Structure 1
């Protein structure tokens, strides 16, 4: 019975996440185009026919339509159901990793922001201010709520806990924007061209607000490693030229997601290994 309840809970969380993923597809398409997120309702980009509610079911709608618009038969990118599927799975992973409601809901919001920003950067090589700035504010609100909860639980007082947590988020945000700006400057001098866009530093600031400075540093390190590996591999295989711009936002987003799930364990493991070497 317990397994059935756990499975039902995971299914409900997945459906919520997949529905959020469906909305993220709208965000990724409309924000760069300067369109409203609310009006008009979802429609085929080719014939502009509104999508029927039963065709707009996350993941399944694309499958039973065969990847085509019901009206004009224009092809619908498989990225739409893939985003819905990945978002749903991430929501389940967050729910499994964070039992308490507050961190789970907070990290659901974070992965949603990161997914939208990563996909927009892939499409347009831009990271819209409206998302990075609102994400930074949301991160500080999350820190305040977490600090209040932890302060009350430990007897230190909710207000004191909130103030300390928000300060940690502010430090993370400042470190993020300054750190990426420094890397951009050094990289631009070394390469003789712009190494990163200004949006990457703002995304790093947003990540710092959510994660704090320790997990931000880990996320940035993971992003650099992944970016170097993927970019270097693509250049070696002839898929990209050395001067071709590569969006760094997706690597930052992936680094942040990995830090959410594995950050504390990785940091403890690193410090334990370092302590063993010192001894």
Structure 2
């Protein structure tokens, strides 16, 4: 019962964070202030009231339309709020009350924002990837909960090596793939996002996340080409796949690594 109550509070908290993430996703690419003006209808300018601005429920209360001009409000807003809330609860259920929980809440929020901005604009803002990388290195240092300089330095190096590997890996893939395809295969933002993931997860889980990202991306991209939705030359944002791979690595990375080692390198 206690766990249910705590999870409910975390769900509400996550939904509130998701509401702010909606603001970041919409305003950051447009170079608008994240704080001013307050949330309002983009058509008639009506400022949302307190009940209208309640995460998830506000959209349901308005029945998906502006109360003043009846302009439809995209269902993506409550969907993102719900996804954020569910992710926050899932992290808490797996990691409990810990520093890792707070850290992964931050990481998954960053990944959700970056994936949707990339989906909308085919860009990954430097302000997010760079700040996310710095936060990842800070997480590595603080996660030790120790003042032992050797342990702190070792953990910091884990993040740095992961970040460098992320950049090198994607730079190599971009050069090779671009040579084969005769056009730019990936944007520079993908390498920076991979570096951010490496800073947070370390090089081992980074590789797990990247493998999953390429596997899912190849499956969806190949399916879209087969169905005629995309041609082989059409660009496709890779940020959402990297974000998905990173999120899966957060929850299942260690188990996937262990299963891989046991399968291919069994103890003799």
Q: What TM-score range do you get, normalising by the shorter chain?
A: over 0.9
Matched, 1:243 2:233: yes
Residue pairs, 1:123-134, within 5 angstroms: 123-134=120-131
For 1:177, which of 155, 167, 178 is the aligned residue?
167
User: Quick one: distance in 2 between partners of 1:100 and 1:12?
Assistant: 13
Matched, 1:273 2:268: no
Classify the secondary structure of the residue corresponding to 2:28: helix
Compute the TM-score of the two structures, normalised by the length of structure 1: 0.94
Residue pairs, 1:6-155, within 5 angstroms: 6-147=3-144, 149=145, 152=146
User: Quick one: distance in 1 between partners of 2:138 and 2:148?
Assistant: 14
Q: CA deviation at 1:80?
A: 0.5
Count of residue pairs the alignment pairs up: 268
- Runs of at least 4 residues of structure 1 off by over 2 A? 157-160
211-220 or 41-50, larger mean C-alpha shift = 41-50
Output the aligned Cα RMSD: 1.0
For structure 1, the residue ranges without an aligned partner over 5 or more in a row are none
Residue pairs, 1:166-245, within 5 angstroms: 166-245=156-235
Structure 1 165/100 Cα, relative in aligned 2: closer, same or farther at 3 Å? farther
96-105 or 253-262, larger mean C-alpha shift = 96-105
Q: CA deviation at 1:48?
A: 1.6
Q: CA deviation at 1:271?
A: 0.4
User: Quick one: distance in 2 between partners of 1:46 and 1:187?
Assistant: 43
Compute the TM-score of the two structures, normalised by the length of structure 2: 0.98
Classify the secondary structure of the residue corresponding to 1:34: coil
Classify the secondary structure of the residue corresponding to 2:265: helix
Q: CA deviation at 1:237?
A: 0.9
Structure richer in helix, relative to its length? 1
User: Quick one: distance in 2 between partners of 1:227 and 1:115?
Assistant: 17
Q: Deviations over 1:121-151 (max 9, x none)?
A: 000000000000000000001000012x2xx
User: Quick one: distance in 2 between partners of 1:120 and 1:108?
Assistant: 18
Classify the secondary structure of the residue corresponding to 1:53: coil
